Amino acid sequence: MDELPIRSGDDVVRVRQQVRVVAAKGGLSLVDQTKVVTAASELARNALVHGGGGTATIEVVTSAQGRSGIKVGFADEGPGIADVDLALTDGWSSGDGLGLGLSGARRLVDEFELTSKPGSGTSVVVVKWSR
Amino acid sequence: MERVPILKIGTTLFVSIQIDLQDESVVRLQEDLADELVATGARGVIIDITAVEIVDSFIGRMLAMIGSISRLFDAETVLVGMRPAVAITLTELGLSLRGVRTALNAEKGFELLNGSA
């Protein structure tokens, strides 16, 4: 498992590159690699901008049915999200963005788990399976 | 942070993005293009994203904004060379890039700007 820091814009680029490498290793098609890299880019930026930085963990996983895939986790120790359902709504934004980052990232992956509490940071774990 | 070079070809500004874009680079490109449009009086902007492996919501929004900014300087922006995987992902993400014209490649982008398409 790779663990990468997210402290700068350069780190976000490095996370994207590593997610691409591991997604290819996990047997994902080019389109699916692009989807999971894009989702990772959104989530890494969130960790940096809203969480004040954090870490990404990236690994190849295998399902109970023997399918391979990639699992990427993001953790920050920022202010957390008060209303997770609201934050996952298309078009809802805490800043001046389009509000597609979190909701869009969820659409691009097969599994999406967000844990957050105000004051104790945010953790997002996503999985994308090969087809 | 790496900067994206801007080439002037006739009355067009041509930008080929060959780096792994980080947010600061796209913001910088936006500012550099606005300055160049004023300095050169160019009538068109072509942004070649053939080498760009992902466009996420931030990068997409910045590209759309470049289109809007160019229009304020009486210039048209054409985005060219989008990879199929990027197009599929952008659409699923929910980003439509309204306000930016697209063409398959740089040659067709120039044709579009010169009115022969």
Q: Domain A2-129: give its CATH code.
A: 3.30.565.10
DSSP letters spanning B73-84: TT-EEEEE---H
Looking at the predicted structure, is the pLDDT value of residue A15 above 90? yes
Which of B23, B52, B54, B91 has the highest number of chain A CBs within 10 A, making it the mutation to test binding with A?
B54
Give the closest-approach CA distance of A113 to chain B in angstroms: 18
**Which chain A positions have a beta carbon within 8 Å of B85's beta carbon?**
30-31, 33-35
For chain A, the structural domain boundaries read 2-129
Q: Domain B7-113: give its CATH code.
A: 3.30.750.24
Looking at the predicted structure, is the pLDDT value of residue A96 above 80? no
Per-residue confidence at B117, pLDDT binned at 50, 70, 90? very low
**Which chain B positions have a beta carbon within 8 Å of A38's beta carbon?**
54-56, 89, 93
For chain B, the structural domain boundaries read 7-113
What tokens appear for A102 in the block?
């979190």
- Residue B101 is inside which H or E element, if any? strand B101-103
> Can you tell me the ipTM of this complex?
0.91
| Mean pLDDT score, B84-107 | 92
pLDDT at A94: 67
Looking at the predicted structure, is the pLDDT value of residue A95 above 80? no
Mean pLDDT estimate for chain A:
92
In our burial notation (b when 16+ CB lie closer than 10 A, e otherwise), range B43-64 reads bbbbbbbeebbbbbbbbbbbbb
Residue A65: exposed, middle, or buried by beta-carbon count in 10 A (0-12, 13-18, 19+)?
A: exposed
**Which chain A positions have a beta carbon within 8 Å of B83's beta carbon?**
34
Looking at the predicted structure, is the pLDDT value of residue A9 above 70? yes
pLDDT at A14: 97
| Mean pLDDT score, A26-52 | 96
pLDDT at A70: 98
Asked whether the CA dihedral A23, A29, A30, A32 is positive or negative, the reply is negative
Looking at the predicted structure, is the pLDDT value of residue B20 above 70? yes
Entry pTM? 0.92
Give the closest-approach CA distance of B54 to chain A in angstroms: 6
Q: Given B1, B56, B86, which is nearest A42 (Cβ)?
A: B56
